[in-house]
Protein backbone atom coordinates (compact mmCIF):
# COMPACT_ATOMS: atom_id res chain seq x y z
CA UNK A 1 0.00 0.00 0.00
CA UNK A 2 1.14 3.59 -0.53
CA UNK A 3 3.06 5.22 2.30
CA UNK A 4 1.23 8.13 3.87
CA UNK A 5 3.31 11.28 4.34
CA UNK A 6 1.96 12.98 7.45
CA UNK A 7 2.11 16.54 8.70
CA UNK A 8 4.62 16.27 11.56
CA UNK A 9 4.80 18.06 14.91
CA UNK A 10 8.04 19.98 14.47
CA UNK A 11 8.00 21.71 17.85
CA UNK A 12 6.41 21.01 21.25
CA UNK A 13 3.84 23.79 20.74
CA UNK A 14 2.88 23.00 17.15
CA UNK A 15 -0.66 21.78 16.48
CA UNK A 16 -0.86 22.83 12.83
CA UNK A 17 1.34 24.32 10.10
CA UNK A 18 1.22 25.88 6.66
CA UNK A 19 2.19 23.79 3.64
CA UNK A 20 4.00 26.55 1.74
CA UNK A 21 4.69 24.67 -1.51
CA UNK A 22 5.62 21.37 -3.09
CA UNK A 23 8.97 20.98 -4.85
CA UNK A 24 7.90 17.71 -6.48
CA UNK A 25 4.90 17.03 -8.71
CA UNK A 26 2.65 13.99 -8.78
CA UNK A 27 4.35 11.22 -10.76
CA UNK A 28 7.88 12.53 -10.08
CA UNK A 29 10.50 10.02 -9.04
CA UNK A 30 11.78 10.74 -5.54
CA UNK A 31 15.28 9.86 -4.38
CA UNK A 32 16.32 9.63 -0.76
CA UNK A 33 17.53 13.04 0.43
CA UNK A 34 15.66 15.09 -2.18
CA UNK A 35 13.53 17.96 -0.89
CA UNK A 36 9.82 17.30 -1.30
CA UNK A 37 8.13 20.37 0.19
CA UNK A 38 8.52 23.42 2.41
CA UNK A 39 6.36 23.80 5.53
CA UNK A 40 5.97 26.82 7.80
CA UNK A 41 5.74 26.07 11.52
CA UNK A 42 5.39 28.23 14.61
CA UNK A 43 9.20 28.45 14.80
CA UNK A 44 10.63 28.46 11.29
CA UNK A 45 10.18 27.21 7.74
CA UNK A 46 11.15 23.57 7.30
CA UNK A 47 12.31 21.57 4.30
CA UNK A 48 10.98 18.03 3.95
CA UNK A 49 13.42 15.52 2.50
CA UNK A 50 12.56 12.04 1.29
CA UNK A 51 13.90 9.29 3.52
CA UNK A 52 13.51 6.58 0.87
CA UNK A 53 13.12 6.17 -2.87
CA UNK A 54 9.74 6.06 -4.54
CA UNK A 55 7.24 7.98 -6.68
CA UNK A 56 5.11 10.86 -5.42
CA UNK A 57 1.80 9.20 -6.21
CA UNK A 58 -0.72 11.75 -4.99
CA UNK A 59 -0.62 15.16 -3.31
CA UNK A 60 -3.46 15.33 -0.78
CA UNK A 61 -2.83 18.88 0.45
CA UNK A 62 -1.84 21.44 -2.20
CA UNK A 63 0.86 24.09 -1.77
CA UNK A 64 -0.26 27.31 -0.18
CA UNK A 65 -2.61 25.56 2.27
CA UNK A 66 -2.71 27.05 5.76
CA UNK A 67 -3.77 25.38 9.00
CA UNK A 68 -2.86 21.78 8.15
CA UNK A 69 -3.33 19.70 11.31
CA UNK A 70 -0.46 17.71 12.79
CA UNK A 71 -0.58 14.03 11.65
CA UNK A 72 -2.91 14.82 8.74
CA UNK A 73 -1.83 12.97 5.56
CA UNK A 74 -0.47 15.44 3.01
CA UNK A 75 0.69 13.05 0.26
CA UNK A 76 1.08 9.40 -0.77
CA UNK A 77 4.38 7.83 -1.77
CA UNK A 78 4.50 4.76 -4.00
CA UNK A 79 7.35 2.37 -3.34
CA UNK A 80 9.47 0.96 -6.15
CA UNK A 81 7.39 -1.34 -8.33
CA UNK A 82 4.11 -0.41 -6.67
CA UNK A 83 1.18 0.05 -9.06
CA UNK A 84 -0.48 3.46 -9.21
CA UNK A 85 -3.82 1.62 -9.10
CA UNK A 86 -3.29 1.24 -5.35
CA UNK A 87 -3.95 4.97 -5.06
CA UNK A 88 -7.59 4.40 -5.92
CA UNK A 89 -8.26 3.24 -2.36
CA UNK A 90 -7.35 6.78 -1.26
CA UNK A 91 -9.79 9.43 -2.53
CA UNK A 92 -8.33 12.48 -4.21
CA UNK A 93 -8.49 15.76 -2.27
CA UNK A 94 -11.01 17.25 -4.73
CA UNK A 95 -12.24 17.12 -8.31
CA UNK A 96 -9.48 19.42 -9.51
CA UNK A 97 -6.87 18.21 -7.05
CA UNK A 98 -7.37 21.14 -4.67
CA UNK A 99 -8.51 21.42 -1.10
CA UNK A 100 -7.86 19.11 1.78
CA UNK A 101 -10.81 16.69 1.55
CA UNK A 102 -10.20 12.96 1.79
CA UNK A 103 -7.61 13.11 4.59
CA UNK A 104 -8.36 12.77 8.29
CA UNK A 105 -8.06 15.93 10.29
CA UNK A 106 -7.53 14.66 13.81
CA UNK A 107 -4.43 13.19 15.38
CA UNK A 108 -6.28 10.01 16.31
CA UNK A 109 -7.54 9.43 12.76
CA UNK A 110 -4.23 10.18 11.07
CA UNK A 111 -1.87 8.57 13.54
CA UNK A 112 -1.71 5.15 11.81
CA UNK A 113 0.34 4.67 8.66
CA UNK A 114 -0.81 1.81 6.36
CA UNK A 115 1.44 -1.21 6.65
CA UNK A 116 2.95 0.16 9.87
CA UNK A 117 5.45 2.26 7.92
CA UNK A 118 6.78 5.58 9.17
CA UNK A 119 6.33 8.76 7.11
CA UNK A 120 8.93 8.88 4.34
CA UNK A 121 10.46 12.16 5.43
CA UNK A 122 13.47 13.80 6.99
CA UNK A 123 13.57 17.39 8.17
CA UNK A 124 15.95 20.30 7.63
CA UNK A 125 14.67 23.72 8.90
CA UNK A 126 15.53 27.12 7.60
CA UNK A 127 14.33 30.45 9.00
CA UNK A 128 13.69 32.08 5.60
CA UNK A 129 10.00 31.98 4.59
CA UNK A 130 9.56 31.05 0.89
CA UNK A 131 7.59 33.28 -1.47
CA UNK A 132 3.87 32.72 -1.04
CA UNK A 133 2.31 30.50 -3.66
CA UNK A 134 -0.44 33.03 -4.27
CA UNK A 135 2.15 35.57 -5.34
CA UNK A 136 3.33 33.42 -8.21
CA UNK A 137 0.19 33.97 -10.29
CA UNK A 138 -0.11 31.79 -13.34
CA UNK A 139 3.61 31.71 -14.14
CA UNK A 140 5.68 28.54 -13.98
CA UNK A 141 7.13 27.68 -10.60
CA UNK A 142 10.78 28.56 -10.00
CA UNK A 143 12.75 25.72 -8.40
CA UNK A 144 15.51 27.12 -6.20
CA UNK A 145 17.16 26.28 -2.89
CA UNK A 146 16.16 28.39 0.13
CA UNK A 147 19.70 29.84 0.35
CA UNK A 148 19.59 30.81 -3.33
CA UNK A 149 16.23 32.51 -2.78
CA UNK A 150 17.54 34.48 0.18
CA UNK A 151 20.64 35.69 -1.70
CA UNK A 152 18.50 36.64 -4.70
CA UNK A 153 16.01 38.50 -2.52
CA UNK A 154 18.77 40.46 -0.76
CA UNK A 155 20.30 41.36 -4.15
CA UNK A 156 16.94 42.29 -5.73
CA UNK A 157 17.41 39.58 -8.38
CA UNK A 158 14.52 37.88 -10.21
CA UNK A 159 15.04 34.11 -10.19
CA UNK A 160 12.67 33.58 -13.13
CA UNK A 161 15.39 34.49 -15.64
CA UNK A 162 18.11 32.20 -14.25
CA UNK A 163 19.23 28.77 -15.41
CA UNK A 164 19.70 26.27 -12.59
CA UNK A 165 22.76 24.01 -12.48
CA UNK A 166 21.43 21.86 -9.62
CA UNK A 167 19.52 18.57 -9.83
CA UNK A 168 16.61 18.77 -12.28
CA UNK A 169 17.53 22.36 -13.12
CA UNK A 170 17.16 23.63 -9.54
CA UNK A 171 18.73 27.04 -8.96
CA UNK A 172 21.47 26.86 -6.33
CA UNK A 173 23.69 29.36 -4.51
CA UNK A 174 26.42 29.37 -7.19
CA UNK A 175 23.89 30.27 -9.93
CA UNK A 176 22.65 33.30 -8.00
CA UNK A 177 26.13 34.49 -7.05
CA UNK A 178 27.20 34.29 -10.70
CA UNK A 179 24.16 36.29 -11.78
CA UNK A 180 24.75 38.93 -9.10
CA UNK A 181 28.38 39.31 -10.19
CA UNK A 182 27.48 39.65 -13.89
CA UNK A 183 26.83 43.15 -15.31
CA UNK A 184 23.13 43.93 -15.66
CA UNK A 185 21.59 45.88 -18.57
CA UNK A 186 19.69 49.06 -17.84
CA UNK A 187 16.07 48.38 -17.07
CA UNK A 188 13.61 49.25 -19.84
CA UNK A 189 10.71 51.60 -19.07
CA UNK A 190 7.75 49.68 -17.73
CA UNK A 191 4.22 50.53 -18.75
CA UNK A 192 1.77 51.30 -16.02
CA UNK A 193 0.34 48.06 -14.69
CA UNK A 194 -3.42 47.70 -14.72
CA UNK A 195 -3.36 46.08 -11.29
CA UNK A 196 -4.51 48.06 -8.31
CA UNK A 197 -1.89 50.15 -6.57
CA UNK A 198 -0.55 48.73 -3.29
CA UNK A 199 -2.36 49.88 -0.19
CA UNK A 200 -0.56 52.70 1.61
CA UNK A 201 0.68 52.11 5.12
CA UNK A 202 -1.78 53.15 7.81
CA UNK A 203 -1.41 56.74 8.85
CA UNK A 204 0.73 57.20 11.94
CA UNK A 205 -1.13 58.14 15.08
CA UNK A 206 1.62 60.63 15.85
CA UNK A 207 1.70 63.18 12.98
CA UNK A 208 5.32 64.00 13.86
CA UNK A 209 6.54 60.40 13.52
CA UNK A 210 9.40 60.16 11.00
CA UNK A 211 8.97 58.29 7.71
CA UNK A 212 9.33 54.54 8.01
CA UNK A 213 9.37 51.29 6.03
CA UNK A 214 6.97 48.59 7.24
CA UNK A 215 8.82 45.25 7.35
CA UNK A 216 6.37 42.31 7.67
CA UNK A 217 7.05 40.04 10.61
CA UNK A 218 8.13 36.54 9.65
CA UNK A 219 6.70 33.52 11.47
CA UNK A 220 10.02 33.14 13.25
CA UNK A 221 10.06 36.79 14.39
CA UNK A 222 6.49 36.49 15.72
CA UNK A 223 7.40 33.39 17.72
CA UNK A 224 10.53 35.08 19.13
CA UNK A 225 8.44 38.09 20.17
CA UNK A 226 5.78 35.92 21.82
CA UNK A 227 8.22 33.68 23.68
CA UNK A 228 10.36 36.54 25.00
CA UNK A 229 7.29 38.50 26.10
CA UNK A 230 5.98 35.45 27.94
CA UNK A 231 9.41 34.78 29.46
CA UNK A 232 9.83 38.32 30.78
CA UNK A 233 6.23 38.53 32.01
CA UNK A 234 5.92 35.12 33.67
CA UNK A 235 9.44 34.14 34.82
CA UNK A 236 10.75 35.81 38.02
CA UNK A 237 14.21 36.80 36.78
CA UNK A 238 17.10 37.78 39.01
CA UNK A 239 20.66 38.51 37.96
CA UNK A 240 24.15 37.67 39.22
CA UNK A 241 27.32 39.12 37.69
CA UNK A 242 30.94 38.06 38.06
CA UNK A 243 34.27 39.23 36.59
CA UNK A 244 36.68 36.64 35.19
CA UNK A 245 40.33 37.30 34.37
CA UNK A 246 41.22 35.95 30.92
CA UNK A 247 45.00 36.34 30.64
CA UNK A 248 45.81 32.70 31.46
CA UNK A 249 43.03 31.49 29.14
CA UNK A 250 44.24 33.65 26.26
CA UNK A 251 47.77 32.31 26.72
CA UNK A 252 46.60 28.66 26.68
CA UNK A 253 44.37 29.39 23.66
CA UNK A 254 47.29 30.85 21.69
CA UNK A 255 49.51 27.88 22.56
CA UNK A 256 46.88 25.32 21.54
CA UNK A 257 46.05 27.12 18.29
CA UNK A 258 49.75 27.15 17.44
CA UNK A 259 50.01 23.39 17.74
CA UNK A 260 47.70 22.44 14.86
CA UNK A 261 45.88 23.83 11.82
CA UNK A 262 43.05 21.33 12.34
CA UNK A 263 41.20 23.65 14.73
CA UNK A 264 40.97 27.32 15.68
CA UNK A 265 39.80 27.69 19.26
CA UNK A 266 37.79 30.77 20.24
CA UNK A 267 37.17 32.24 23.68
CA UNK A 268 33.55 31.10 23.31
CA UNK A 269 34.71 27.49 22.95
CA UNK A 270 36.38 27.79 26.36
CA UNK A 271 33.19 29.39 27.75
CA UNK A 272 31.06 26.46 26.52
CA UNK A 273 33.50 23.98 28.06
CA UNK A 274 33.65 25.91 31.35
CA UNK A 275 29.84 26.12 31.58
CA UNK A 276 29.53 22.38 30.94
CA UNK A 277 32.04 21.47 33.66
CA UNK A 278 30.53 24.00 36.09
CA UNK A 279 27.08 22.44 35.55
CA UNK A 280 28.62 19.05 36.29
CA UNK A 281 29.84 20.45 39.62
CA UNK A 282 26.55 22.30 40.32
CA UNK A 283 23.79 20.17 38.69
CA UNK A 284 21.04 22.16 40.44
CA UNK A 285 21.64 24.97 37.90
CA UNK A 286 20.90 22.57 35.01
CA UNK A 287 17.14 22.55 35.52
CA UNK A 288 13.73 23.89 34.46
CA UNK A 289 10.45 24.68 36.20
CA UNK A 290 7.41 22.42 36.17
CA UNK A 291 4.16 22.97 38.09
CA UNK A 292 4.38 19.53 39.71
CA UNK A 293 8.16 19.05 39.81
CA UNK A 294 11.45 20.75 38.91
CA UNK A 295 13.20 18.94 36.07
CA UNK A 296 16.88 18.49 36.86
CA UNK A 297 18.61 17.40 33.66
CA UNK A 298 21.08 14.53 33.80
CA UNK A 299 22.47 15.35 30.34
CA UNK A 300 24.43 18.58 29.88
CA UNK A 301 23.11 20.00 26.61
CA UNK A 302 24.09 23.63 26.07
CA UNK A 303 22.22 25.99 23.74
CA UNK A 304 24.32 28.76 22.17
CA UNK A 305 22.58 31.82 20.72
CA UNK A 306 23.44 32.47 17.04
CA UNK A 307 22.28 35.54 15.12
CA UNK A 308 20.63 34.94 11.72
CA UNK A 309 19.01 37.40 9.27
CA UNK A 310 15.58 36.48 10.69
CA UNK A 311 16.45 36.49 14.40
CA UNK A 312 18.18 34.45 17.07
CA UNK A 313 18.24 30.66 17.06
CA UNK A 314 19.95 28.46 19.64
CA UNK A 315 21.73 25.37 18.25
CA UNK A 316 22.69 22.83 20.90
CA UNK A 317 26.00 21.22 21.84
CA UNK A 318 24.78 17.90 23.21
CA UNK A 319 26.72 16.22 26.05
CA UNK A 320 29.10 19.19 26.15
CA UNK A 321 30.75 17.91 29.34
CA UNK A 322 32.00 14.85 27.44
CA UNK A 323 33.62 16.85 24.63
CA UNK A 324 37.04 18.46 24.48
CA UNK A 325 37.77 21.98 23.30
CA UNK A 326 38.65 20.96 19.73
CA UNK A 327 35.45 18.92 19.35
CA UNK A 328 33.33 21.75 20.78
CA UNK A 329 35.00 24.24 18.44
CA UNK A 330 34.43 22.11 15.34
CA UNK A 331 30.81 21.36 16.28
CA UNK A 332 29.99 25.00 17.08
CA UNK A 333 31.37 26.23 13.75
CA UNK A 334 29.30 23.65 11.89
CA UNK A 335 26.12 24.45 13.87
CA UNK A 336 26.54 28.22 13.46
CA UNK A 337 27.04 27.82 9.71
CA UNK A 338 23.96 25.61 9.40
CA UNK A 339 21.95 28.10 11.49
CA UNK A 340 22.85 31.02 9.22
CA UNK A 341 22.16 28.95 6.09
CA UNK A 342 18.86 27.62 7.45
CA UNK A 343 19.97 23.98 7.50
CA UNK A 344 19.54 23.03 11.17
CA UNK A 345 17.53 19.92 11.93
CA UNK A 346 14.91 20.13 14.73
CA UNK A 347 17.00 18.04 17.10
CA UNK A 348 19.88 20.49 16.62
CA UNK A 349 18.02 23.51 18.02
CA UNK A 350 15.07 22.21 20.07
CA UNK A 351 15.71 21.35 23.70
CA UNK A 352 18.83 22.11 25.72
CA UNK A 353 19.06 22.73 29.46
CA UNK A 354 21.16 25.92 29.69
CA UNK A 355 21.84 28.79 27.24
CA UNK A 356 24.90 30.96 26.52
CA UNK A 357 24.53 34.34 24.81
CA UNK A 358 27.89 35.92 23.90
CA UNK A 359 27.99 39.51 22.62
CA UNK A 360 31.64 40.02 23.50
CA UNK A 361 32.70 39.95 19.84
CA UNK A 362 30.62 43.12 19.34
CA UNK A 363 32.46 44.95 22.11
CA UNK A 364 29.54 44.79 24.56
CA UNK A 365 30.97 45.08 28.07
CA UNK A 366 28.09 43.47 29.97
CA UNK A 367 24.36 42.81 29.58
CA UNK A 368 21.51 40.77 31.06
CA UNK A 369 19.83 38.23 28.78
CA UNK A 370 16.20 37.03 28.87
CA UNK A 371 15.78 33.40 29.93
CA UNK A 372 15.06 30.92 27.14
CA UNK A 373 12.04 28.96 28.47
CA UNK A 374 11.64 26.35 29.77
CA UNK A 375 15.29 26.55 30.86
CA UNK A 376 16.17 27.98 34.27
CA UNK A 377 19.33 29.93 33.42
CA UNK A 378 21.07 31.86 30.65
CA UNK A 379 24.64 33.21 30.83
CA UNK A 380 25.34 36.56 29.13
CA UNK A 381 29.02 36.91 28.19
CA UNK A 382 30.61 40.30 27.62
CA UNK A 383 33.86 41.40 25.96
CA UNK A 384 37.28 40.78 27.46
CA UNK A 385 38.98 44.13 28.03
CA UNK A 386 41.96 45.42 29.94
CA UNK A 387 40.96 46.87 33.32
CA UNK A 388 42.80 47.97 36.44
CA UNK A 389 42.75 45.31 39.17
CA UNK A 390 44.29 44.98 42.60
CA UNK A 391 46.63 42.02 43.11
CA UNK A 392 48.45 41.43 46.39
CA UNK A 393 47.64 44.97 47.46
CA UNK A 394 49.12 46.53 44.31
CA UNK A 395 47.45 48.01 41.24
CA UNK A 396 47.82 45.92 38.06
CA UNK A 397 46.25 45.52 34.62
CA UNK A 398 44.36 42.36 33.61
CA UNK A 399 42.08 41.26 30.77
CA UNK A 400 38.66 40.97 32.42
CA UNK A 401 35.37 39.55 31.11
CA UNK A 402 32.04 40.26 32.85
CA UNK A 403 29.47 37.48 32.79
CA UNK A 404 25.87 37.87 34.01
CA UNK A 405 23.69 34.91 34.92
CA UNK A 406 19.93 35.43 34.47
CA UNK A 407 18.11 33.01 36.78
CA UNK A 408 14.55 31.73 37.12
CA UNK A 409 14.05 32.10 40.87
CA UNK A 410 11.41 29.34 40.85
CA UNK A 411 14.10 26.86 39.83
CA UNK A 412 17.43 28.17 41.08
CA UNK A 413 18.01 30.02 44.35
CA UNK A 414 20.58 32.78 44.73
CA UNK A 415 23.07 30.56 46.55
CA UNK A 416 22.95 27.95 43.78
CA UNK A 417 23.45 30.61 41.10
CA UNK A 418 26.41 32.03 43.02
CA UNK A 419 27.90 28.55 43.45
CA UNK A 420 27.64 27.94 39.70
CA UNK A 421 29.32 31.27 38.85
CA UNK A 422 32.13 30.56 41.33
CA UNK A 423 32.78 27.18 39.66
CA UNK A 424 32.64 28.80 36.21
CA UNK A 425 35.08 31.58 37.21
CA UNK A 426 37.56 29.08 38.67
CA UNK A 427 37.62 27.10 35.41
CA UNK A 428 38.00 30.19 33.22
CA UNK A 429 40.87 31.52 35.31
CA UNK A 430 42.56 28.09 35.48
CA UNK A 431 42.06 26.87 31.86
CA UNK A 432 44.44 23.92 32.25
CA UNK A 433 41.80 22.36 34.53
CA UNK A 434 39.49 22.22 31.46
CA UNK A 435 42.01 20.04 29.64
CA UNK A 436 42.02 17.28 32.25
Cα–Cα distance list, 156 to 45, 65, 200, 369 (Å):
21, 27, 22, 35
pLDDT tens-digit map of 107-153: 323 333 333 343 444 444 544 443 333 333 333 456 677 677 778 88
Q: What is residue 134's predicted lDDT score, i.e. its pLDDT?
A: 37
Class of domain 224-435: alpha beta
Choice between 168 and 331, residue whose per-residue pLDDT is larger: 331
Domain covering 3-141: architecture: Beta Barrel (2.40)
Q: What is the mean pLDDT of the chain?
A: 80
pTM: 0.61
| CA-closest candidate to residue 63, choices 31, 102, 26, 29 | 26
Every domain of the chain and the residues it spans: 3-141, 142-187, 224-435
The catalytic residues are 409
Instruction: Enumerate residues 6+ apart whose C-beta is below 8 A from 94.
Output: 101, 102
- Report the CATH fold assignment for 142-187: Dihydrolipoamide Transferase (4.10.320)
Most confident of the ranges 114-118, 277-281, 344-348: 277-281
pLDDT tens-digit map of 330-345: 999 999 999 888 888 8
Amino acid sequence: MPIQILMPALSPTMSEGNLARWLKNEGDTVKSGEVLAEIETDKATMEFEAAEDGVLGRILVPGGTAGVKVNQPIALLLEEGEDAASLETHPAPGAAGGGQGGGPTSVSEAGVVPGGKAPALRLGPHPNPPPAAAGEGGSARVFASPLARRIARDAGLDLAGLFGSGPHGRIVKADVEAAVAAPRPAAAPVAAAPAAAPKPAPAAVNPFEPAFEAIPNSSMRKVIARRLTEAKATIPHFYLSIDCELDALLKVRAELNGRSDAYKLSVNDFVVRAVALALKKVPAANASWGEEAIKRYTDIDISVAVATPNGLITPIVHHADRKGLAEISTEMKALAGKARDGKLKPEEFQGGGFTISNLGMYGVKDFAAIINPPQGCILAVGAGEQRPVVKAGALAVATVMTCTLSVDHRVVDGAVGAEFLAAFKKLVEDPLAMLL
